[in-house]
Amino acid sequence: MTKIEIKDLHVNVGDKEILKGFNLTVNGGEVHALMGPNGTGKSTLAYALMGHPRYNIVKGDILLDGESILDMSVDERSRNGMFLAFQYPVAIPGVTLANFLRVALNAKAKAHNPDDKGISLVNFRRLLRSKMDMLKMDYAFGARYLNDGFSGGEKKRAEVLQMAMLEPRIAILDETDSGLDIDALRIVADGVHALKSSELGVILITHYQRMLEYMNPDFVHIMYAGSIVESGGAELALKLEAQGYDWIREKYPDTRNSGQA
Amino acid sequence: MSDQNKQSFLNQFGADYQYGFSDPDIASFRAEKGLTRDIVRQISAFKEEPEWMLNLRLKAYEHYIKRPMPGWGPDISDLDLNNIYYYVRPPEINQRSWDDVPDTIKNTFDKLGIPEAEQKFLAGVGAQYDSEMVYHSIQENLEKQGVIFLSIENGLKEYPDLFREHFGKVVPIQDNKFSALNTAVWSGGSFVYVPKGVKVDLPLQAYFRLNNPNLGQFERTLIIADEGSQVHYVEGCTAPTYTEDSFHSGVIEIIVKKNARVRYSTIQNWSTNVYNLVTQRAAVYENGTMEWVDANLGSKVTMKYPSCYLYGEGAHGEMLSVAFAGPEQIQDAGSKMIHFASNTSSKITSKSISRGNGRSSYRGLVRVASGLEKINSNVVCDALLLDPESASDTYPTIDIRSDDVNIGHEASVSRIGEEQLFYLNSRGLTDEEATTMIVSGFIEPLVKELPMEYAIEMNRLIQLQMIGSVG
């Protein structure tokens, strides 16, 4: 069964330490919500897990199924089942979403079996359409250039579509709910919900209770100034919804203002 | 197209660089190295030309000798014009049938996939080997409609009046040193005439092959699109890889009459020992449209600025180009749009990619004559640099002498962004796959303008150019 263990992770961006001893274990089948005020290192965690070159891991380890992934390149991590749904996906002009997904699927298949000839066009189209149906996406979307001129909601939906196609084992969703209206939110949340399986562990970074209502997380963590300061169940998210973060800032004053996005 | 046919077609423009092979020398005649008045006479005599053409050649020769090398643009001082064969004649052939082409030459064109491509999706094919066209043929139904597609020599022989009326008028001798040289020693190329109202649906393709080393190839093409007609002409080129330099200097003249539409596409994939200095120009009349689609992938140095002279009201000129400068290559390319009439419009879209220490430049001119109204012109040049060693320059010149002009110019230079790479890496693509994908997307606006077979080929060539591009 899938398992990711993040152990005492310290991450610098430039000279600045952003993550200061972050610990979390996520098993397949679990959904962990990660909440917290802006600038506490949530996106840093997402980038560091995926291996962004500018996020420098100075201490600690990340184990996927017991093996460290720190020496793996970004694409190797992806092919080993890691996935990041970006908060701000970049545009790749001139490359259609469908073509991009086909190349990505084939890259993954080839990594697992060098003789893999890749998915046929017919099978690919069938697969893509079934996933698009799930996310209530127009098929014409596949012919658009990747994230190029997409609205905020379209970008988020495209991220979840990619997740559905690539079938990761660990998915980090970085504020996939932000910028969505209530209908889009429900569709995206339903889509992610439909992907839940015992093989998939989810880290859901969010500011809002709304997404959690649909996703029904097993654990809620509050992150503050570079590490998790509170963990609990759904009641923790409700408390945040009602009271905001002031009580966190008061409870953990020594770490105040020391974090940065 | 079956996969096999597709593959053989795909082979035709060359690859990494799999068309660097050469044939044994079977030339039936070879002029001495360097250029003299006698060689000009010899060429004309071989072609049994009328007096006026010989005189024009000699006049052009005088101009060529007097004219200094261009004082601008890339450094071409290594091009030794005295170490070039100006005329190498393959064995005598009648051009009408592949069966009559000598085996050595026919095998080359077979390897390049030309005969299959002709059967599958072309309206006509011309093939030039060193200094002469060895094959030239057009579909019978087009011939019946009066479409002429001949080697330039046969055009002069069979249609002397039409030929003389237009030859050297769009690109005169005095235009530049290399157009003068071409006029002095031209050999090979196509003569195309499309009668009034005739639309040629499939492309006509000319294929140019240099075989001998130190060879100069000086093809000359004249295309006349009569009123309301339409034609798409495609040229492709490859050469063996030699350590010594070869030289290609063509002149293309196009006349686009009232309401006619001409598209001229080039996929230039010379080996990297070829200097490619080309003059391409179209004269466009009332409501005519000229489109250049230009892909420069090969060659050592390319200097090429296809232009549209917009003479008639409502005329439109368009240039869509992509240049890829790999290690040791210089692509100095661009376009000229000259507005001589009111209500004319032009559009230049130039994309360049540089890698290694390759250097690509956009050099362009938009000129609007005085006293004109309602002129629109738009220039967009985007450069993509793949690594810190590569470079790109932009030399846009805008010369406007009228008031009622709407002109736009945008230029951008980008490096492949860390965030774009990270995004694609995060979906499992390696650096090389990701870079290739970004480059393919970058040139997509051009590729989608090409017929499918060429689009597939372009993407494949770009992929081959990218191999080994990521350290």
Q: Do residue A95 and residue B440 have CB atoms under 8 angstroms apart?
A: yes
Phi, psi of B29 (to 5 degrees): -155, 145
Report pLDDT for B469.
60
Determine the Cα–Cα distance for residues B267 and B117; give it in Å rounded to an integer.
15
Report pLDDT for A259.
43
Q: Is A187 helix (H, G, I), strand (E, B) or coil?
A: helix
Residues from chain A that touch B427, judged by Cβ atoms under 8 A, are 75, 78, 100, 104, 107, 162, 166
**Closest-CA residue in chain A for B425?**
A75
Residues from chain A that touch B417, judged by Cβ atoms under 8 A, are 90
**What is the ipTM metric for this complex?**
0.95
Q: For helices B114-121 and B103-111, what crossing angle results, to 10°?
A: 60
Chain A residues 113-132 within an 8 A CB cutoff of chain B = none
Q: Do residue A93 and residue B442 have CB atoms under 8 angstroms apart?
A: yes
Report pLDDT for B11.
40
Interface residue A149 vs chain B (CB under 8 A): no
Low-confidence ranges of chain B (pLDDT < 70): 1-18, 467-471
Q: How far is B400 from chain A (nearest CA, A)?
A: 33
- Chain B: which residues have CB within 8 Å of chain A? 417-420, 422-431, 433-434, 437-438, 440-445
Report pLDDT for B15.
38
Q: Do residue A78 and residue B422 have CB atoms under 8 angstroms apart?
A: no
Interface test with B, best of A13, A73, A75 (most B CBs within 10 A): A75
β-bridge pairing B274-284 and B307-310: parallel
**Closest-CA residue in chain A for B448?**
A94
Q: Do residue B423 and residue A90 have CB atoms under 8 angstroms apart?
A: yes
3-state secondary structure chain B: CCHHHHHHHHHHHCCCCCCCCCCCCCCCEECCECCCHHHHHHHHHHCCCCHHHHHHHHHHHHHHHHCCCCCCCCCCCCCCHHHCECCEECCCCCCCCHHHCCHHHHHHHHHCCHHHHHHHHCCEEEEEECCEEEEEEECHHHHHCCCEEEEHHHHHHHCHHHHHHHCCCCCCHHHCHHHHHHHHHCCCCEEEEECCCCECCCCEEEEEECCCCCEEECCEEEEEECCCCEEEEEEEEECCCCCCCEEECCEEEEEECCCCEEEEEEEECCCCCEEEEEEEEEEECCCCEEEEEEEECCCCEEEECCEEEECCCCCEEEEEEEEEECCCCEEEEEEEEEECCCCCEEEEEEEEEECCCCEEEEEEEEEECCCCCCEEEEEEEEEEECCCCCEEEEEEEEEECCCCEEEEEEEEEEECCHHHHHHHHCCCCCHHHHHHHHHHHHHHHHHCCCCHHHHHHHHHHHHHHHCCCCC
pLDDT, tens only, A205-244: 998 888 888 888 999 999 999 999 999 998 999 898 889 8
Closest to B441 (Cβ–Cβ): which among A77, A83, A92?
A92
More confident residue, A72 or A187: A72
Q: Is A232 helix (H, G, I), strand (E, B) or coil?
A: strand
Determine the Cα–Cα distance for residues B218 and B278; give it in Å rounded to an integer.
9
Interface residue A144 vs chain B (CB under 8 A): no
**Closest-CA residue in chain B for A112?**
B428
Q: Do residue A89 and residue B420 have CB atoms under 8 angstroms apart?
A: no
Q: Do residue A75 and residue B417 have CB atoms under 8 angstroms apart?
A: no
Q: Do residue B433 and residue A103 have CB atoms under 8 angstroms apart?
A: yes
Residues from chain A that touch B419, judged by Cβ atoms under 8 A, are 90
Report pLDDT for A22.
97
Domain boundaries, chain A: 3-89+167-255
Q: Do residue B433 and residue A162 have CB atoms under 8 angstroms apart?
A: no
> pLDDT confidence of A202, banded at 50, 70, 90?
very high
Q: Do residue A92 and residue B423 have CB atoms under 8 angstroms apart?
A: yes
Put simply, whether the predicted model's pTM sits higher than 0.90 gets the answer: no
Determine the Cα–Cα distance for residues A236 and A230; give it in Å rounded to an integer.
8
Q: How far is A90 from chain B (nearest CA, A)?
A: 6
Here the contacts of B66-70 (C-beta below 8 Å, separation 24 or greater) are B67/B176, B67/B177, B67/B180, B68/B177, B69/B177, B70/B176, B70/B177, B70/B303
Report pLDDT for B199.
97
Report pLDDT for B16.
52
Interface residue A133 vs chain B (CB under 8 A): no
Interface residue A150 vs chain B (CB under 8 A): no
Closest to A75 (Cβ–Cβ): which among B420, B429, B442?
B429
Q: Which two tokens stand for residue B95?
A: 């051009």
Q: If 0-12 CB within 10 Å is exposed, 13-18 middle and 19+ buried, where does residue B127 land?
A: buried
Q: How far is B442 from chain A (nearest CA, A)?
A: 6
Residues from chain B that touch A54, judged by Cβ atoms under 8 A, are 418
**Closest-CA residue in chain A for B441?**
A94
Q: Is A45 helix (H, G, I), strand (E, B) or coil?
A: helix
Report pLDDT for B470.
56
Residues from chain B that touch A83, judged by Cβ atoms under 8 A, are 426
Count CB neighbours of B222 within 10 A: 25
**Averaged over A1-17, what is the pLDDT?**
95
Q: Do residue B428 and residue A50 have CB atoms under 8 angstroms apart?
A: no
Q: Which residues contact B296 (CB under 8 A, 6 or more apart)?
A: B266, B268, B276, B302, B304, B321, B322, B323, B324, B331, B333
Chain pair A-B, CB pairs under 8 angstroms: 77
Domain boundaries, chain B: 3-304, 420-471
Q: How far is A250 from chain B (nearest CA, A)?
A: 36
pLDDT, tens only, A152-171: 889 999 999 999 999 999 99
Which helix (H) or strand (E) segment holds residue A19: the answer is: strand A16-27
Determine the Cα–Cα distance for residues B439 and B445; give it in Å rounded to an integer.
11
Residues from chain B that touch A100, judged by Cβ atoms under 8 A, are 424, 427, 437
Q: Which two tokens stand for residue B9?
A: 């077609």
Residues from chain B that touch A104, judged by Cβ atoms under 8 A, are 427-429
Q: Do residue A166 and residue B430 have CB atoms under 8 angstroms apart?
A: no
For the segment(s) A3-89+167-255, the CATH number from 3.40.50.300, 3.30.70.330, 2.40.50.140, 3.90.1570.10 is 3.40.50.300
**Closest-CA residue in chain B for A84?**
B426
Nearest alpha-carbon partner for A29 in A6, A3, A7: A3
Q: Which residues contact B62 (CB under 8 A, 6 or more apart)?
A: none
Q: Which residue has the tokens 């504020």?
A: A175
Report pLDDT for B23.
83
Q: Do residue B425 and residue A79 have CB atoms under 8 angstroms apart?
A: no
Q: Which residue has the tokens 């000699």?
A: B58
Q: How far is B5 from chain A (nearest CA, A)?
A: 20
Q: Which two tokens stand for residue A215?
A: 């996703």
